Amino acid sequence: FFLFDYCGPKGFASGGFIADSQLGVVINATQQQWMTRNSSISVWTNAVWNQVFSGVSGAPPQSFPHPTYTTLATSPVTREAPFLYTDSSGRYNVFVPAVQHNSSGTSWSSGPAPGTSIPVDKFFIAQPGDSVDSINKALGSGKNLILTPGVYHLADSIRVTRPDTVVLGLGFPTLIPTSGNAAMTTSSAKGLLLSGLLFQAGAVNSDVLLRLGGDGSQSDHDASDPSGLYDVFFRIGGAAVGKATTALIVNSDNTILDDIWAWRADHGSGVGWTSNTSDTGVIVNGRNVTAYGLFVEHFQKYEVIWNGDNGTDVFFQNEMPYDVPSQAAWMEAPGVDGYAAFKVADGVTHFNGYGMGSYSFFNQGIDIFAANAFEVPSTLPAGSMRDLLTIFLDVSHGKGGILNVINGVGGSSTIANPDVPVTVVSYP
């Protein structure tokens, strides 16, 4: 199983995500970083910068940083993505997998996966031309939601309020707010599952593109029925000018984030420091939130802010913004250069991070520095942060760099050591 296009002279190598899959020999080759969760493999050929395995049968043993494998025997809490299928009578249903704790391997290798089926007639099947009002009326009446492929221009927010609602995107429907609104908001109800969606910022700045959980409040529902985001992506610029203060805010407790990519565009249309403006990719306020495969790139302040207690992140990939115009324009505080890619708030008492990397490529021809890639309370329990790295990219065009890996520890990644991981195995 090749993780790149082996037919061309050079395959794409910017990483990816595998879950709930059974594979033989996996050829990683040039993939810089990769997240594999709850799967089975026979061989993984090689590491590059950051290869992370959680609950994977046959995974390489823990060896970070030589080679850069981070391996967790089990995944603390998982719930696979809902999916559309036909039953033996040819009827369409959506399967909603059950919650698993401390699991490994696929959900289906030992027999039918545990979970429930929802007949498709319990869903409102939306088309791109449908109004937000019609979608919200259907959701309010108790329907789940399937979004068919296409672009949805939304003058108001899609509102998901009923517990255990499923929102399933087919073909990655694109949701674009047009009036500075959020594209989608949810209540703090339990068991909300959102899968296969692309949120794209509109030309008018939105405070947030997707807000999971009531604004400013944390849910307090039972961890036995967590909410989840699966294969949910965010794009600010790149296709057109777009602006959003924050891409994703998670207020709900006991949420699973599974393959999240938040991207402030570094290329394409509508790209520039004052064009596709966005402060932060992901803000987590909820407690007991678990993330697998968090990809957050190029935001203009902190890329991730984690305020909730008892959180876990398994795999993080980040590139700092390329287009910082001056050091003065990018200062966390007086005397503190740049912004950390991942900020755990000072009041957090417990947080665990595994296999987390941040890279720099400041391409405006001047030295730009970030004081730290990661900032966390030094009072976290010993070893809360494991297998961290920074990298300086592109010796021909890059400037500046990252001065420390975490909280002033770990050394710098600059032009003096390009394309070489600077690592911290355990902190504090």
**Residues with a known catalytic role:** 319
- Cβ–Cβ < 8 Å for 56, 37: yes
For the chain, the farthest-separated pair of C-alpha atoms sits apart, in whole angstroms, at 67
Which positions ≥6 away from 340 have C-beta within 8 Å? 302, 332, 370, 371, 372, 373, 374, 375
DSSP H helices in 272-358: none
Nearest-angstrom CA–CA distance, 289 and 280:
18
Contact 372, 406 (CB under 8 A): yes
Please answer whether residues 298 and 322 qualify as being in contact, where contact means their C-beta atoms are separated by less than 8 angstroms. yes
Reported in sequence order, the residue ranges of 163-226 that DSSP labels E, i.e. its strands, are: 166-169, 174-177, 184-186, 193-200, 206-212
77 Cβ contact partners less than 8 Å away, ≥ 6 residues apart: 99, 100, 101, 223, 226, 256, 290
Cα dihedral 282→283→285→291 (10° resolution): 20
Percentages helix, strand, coil for the chain (3-state, rounded to 5) are 5, 45, 55
